[in-house]
């Protein structure tokens, strides 16, 4: 049966709703629904694992190709020179071996984290849900702190909770370098990040690198170094012009207006908030790259919880003080969120799967479970007036059922 969803229901109806929701949401179904929200937990280390493998593969291709092309032709070189050159190639291959050992360690670390997170999800069951949820709460808090740049606090919480393999501190420290640089109005680390992830960003049709190039161009115009700005535009902006012609033209016109222009269309390009925009854009691209949610998980869970609690009754003067939304602070947070219950919903019988309405009203068993009149009457007629609850197996007389009134 679907939960009753009229916010103005009577106390009887509210009780029926609560009991019915508890009945239909078993611990196993709660767990199943809960694990559906853990996409980010597995996706992030997996994406990092793939990135590490690709980086190691590029190193091997580059070094091996250089060694092969560097093998001398025996006809054009003396014996001593050939030996010396081959020794240098051997040294280069030994250097490659050391790099691969470091790369292998990084791969094993990411594989270990993937395994740890799978084990964590598999360990969730009804017997240890309290402990499992505490671990999840700590993960969510660490995720929020990292996104809000509270790196030291996030690290300490992860260490004290022993969940280092379940959180993504190292990845966020990677992002921190770029964010700090953009905060200091430097684009080099951000451009290096774009180069490292060029294929993925291209797949996403990201324009972040183009925006960084535009900002570099603007800074050259701001410093009145117009000739260098033109050279820079030819080298770095022209390849993007066909795709982003309007933005390209708009920025290029600043050569004529300079940073002292009073025209709002071009003046805004020289404002400091453009760097804030780049930081926000980087955070979005960073989350997309690793399959993270754009919003912190804490915000998502908080919004889901408040929305589930939010009903028109919460805003009534006689709202019970036990309801969190009776407090003004919670009401303010829930203001932009939708109500959890619609004014026009359907009640479906658990047994017959038919709608319950005025022609087939809902009846409540003494144990609180709700079924349609048609289903219970048919069951009673076939069992000498006895009714067996299909969920609990308890047996009652038909005379013990009561009507549920929905307002």
Residue 402 sits in a domain whose CATH number is 3.30.40.10
Does the structure show a pLDDT above 90 at 215? yes
Looking at the structure, do residues 316 and 385 belong to the same domain, yes or no? no
Residues of the chain above pLDDT 90, percent = 37
Looking at the structure, do residues 193 and 284 belong to the same domain, yes or no? yes
Band (7; pLDDT cuts 50, 70, 90): very low
Domain assignment present for 168: no
Mean pLDDT of 162-174: 92
**Domain limit, last residue, from 260, 290, 320:** 290
Residues of the chain above pLDDT 70, percent = 88
SS3 category, 365: coil
Phi and psi torsions of 217, nearest 5°: -60, -45
pLDDT for position 357: 85
Domain extent, residue 114, equals 39-122
Q: Quickly count: other Cβ atoms within 10 Å of residue 291's Cβ.
A: 13
pLDDT for position 25: 39
pTM of the model: 0.66
Domain assignment present for 371: yes
What's 266's DSSP letter?
H
CA max distance for the chain: 109
List pLDDT tens digits, range 312-368.
Answer: 878 887 788 888 888 888 888 888 888 876 556 678 899 998 988 888 999 999 988
Band (36; pLDDT cuts 50, 70, 90): low
Domains identified in the chain, total number: 4
pLDDT for position 345: 67
Does the structure show a pLDDT above 90 at 50? no
- Match 């997309």 to its residue by tokens: 288
Looking at the structure, do residues 286 and 335 belong to the same domain, yes or no? no
- 28: closest CA among 129, 130, 119? 129
Looking at the structure, do residues 214 and 275 belong to the same domain, yes or no? yes
List pLDDT tens digits, range 51-77.
Answer: 888 888 888 888 888 888 777 665 667
Looking at the structure, do residues 9 and 46 belong to the same domain, yes or no? no
pLDDT for position 342: 56
Contact yes or no for 362/406 (Cβ under 8 A):
yes
pLDDT for position 347: 84
Looking at the structure, do residues 250 and 235 belong to the same domain, yes or no? yes
Band (12; pLDDT cuts 50, 70, 90): very low
Tokens linked to 205: 């049709």
Band (109; pLDDT cuts 50, 70, 90): confident
pLDDT for position 145: 95
Distance from C-alpha of 28 to C-alpha of 283, rounded to nearest angstrom:
36
Looking at the structure, do residues 18 and 99 belong to the same domain, yes or no? no
Does the structure show a pLDDT above 60 at 305? yes
pLDDT for position 70: 75
SS3 category, 171: helix
Mean pLDDT across the chain, nearest whole number?
83
Looking at the structure, do residues 270 and 254 belong to the same domain, yes or no? yes
pLDDT for position 218: 93
Tokens linked to 87: 């020794």
pLDDT for position 85: 78
Looking at the structure, do residues 195 and 282 belong to the same domain, yes or no? yes
pLDDT for position 181: 95
Does the structure show a pLDDT above 60 at 302? yes
Distance from C-alpha of 186 to C-alpha of 45, rounded to nearest angstrom:
28
> Which residues are 348's β-sheet partners?
355
Mean pLDDT of 244-250: 90
pLDDT for position 42: 84
Does the structure show a pLDDT above 50 at 400? yes
Mean pLDDT of 148-164: 94
């Amino acid at each position: 049966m679907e939960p009753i969803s009229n916010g103005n229901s009577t106390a009887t109806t509210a009780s029926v709703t609560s009991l019915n929701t508890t009945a239909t949401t078993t611990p196993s179904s709660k767990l199943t629904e809960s694990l559906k929200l853990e996409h980010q937990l597995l996706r992030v280390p997996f994406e990092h694992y793939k990135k590490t493998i690709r980086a190691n593969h590029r190193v091997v291709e580059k070094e091996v190709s250089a060694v092969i092309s560097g093998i001398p032709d025996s006809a054009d070189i003396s014996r001593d020179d050939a030996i010396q050159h081959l020794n240098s190639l051997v040294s280069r291959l030994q250097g490659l071996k050391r790099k691969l050992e470091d790369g292998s360690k990084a791969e094993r670390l990411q594989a270990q984290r993937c395994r740890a997170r799978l084990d964590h999800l598999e360990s969730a069951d009804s017997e240890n849900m309290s402990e499992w949820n505490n671990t999840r709460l700590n993960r969510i808090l660490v995720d929020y702190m990292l996104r809000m740049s509270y790196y030291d606090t996030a690290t300490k919480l992860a260490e004290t909770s022993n969940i280092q393999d379940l959180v993504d501190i190292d990845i966020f420290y990677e992002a921190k370098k770029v964010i700090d640089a953009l905060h200091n109005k430097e684009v080099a680390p951000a451009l290096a990040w774009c180069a490292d992830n060029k294929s993925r960003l291209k797949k996403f049709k990201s324009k972040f690198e183009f925006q960084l190039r535009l900002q570099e161009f603007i800074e050259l115009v701001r410093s009145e170094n117009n000739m260098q700005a033109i050279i820079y535009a030819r080298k770095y902006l022209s390849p993007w012009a066909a795709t982003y012609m309007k933005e390209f033209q708009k920025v290029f016109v600043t050569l004529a207006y300079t940073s002292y222009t009073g025209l709002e269309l071009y003046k805004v390009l020289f404002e400091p908030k453009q760097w804030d925009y780049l930081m926000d854009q980087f955070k979005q691209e960073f989350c997309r790259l690793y399959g993270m949610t754009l919003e912190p998980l804490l915000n998502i869970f908080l919004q889901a919880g408040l929305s589930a609690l939010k009903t028109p009754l919460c805003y009534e003067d006689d709202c019970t003080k036990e309801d969190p939304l009776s407090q003004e602070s919670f009401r303010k947070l829930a203001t932009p969120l939708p109500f959890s219950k619609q004014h026009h919903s359907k009640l479906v019988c658990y047994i017959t799967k038919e709608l319950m309405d005025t022609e087939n009203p809902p009846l409540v068993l003494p144990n609180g479970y709700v079924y349609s009149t048609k289903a219970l009457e048919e069951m009673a007629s076939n069992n000498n007036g006895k009714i067996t609850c299909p969920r609990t197996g308890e047996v009652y007389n038909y005379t013990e059922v009561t009507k549920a009134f929905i307002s």
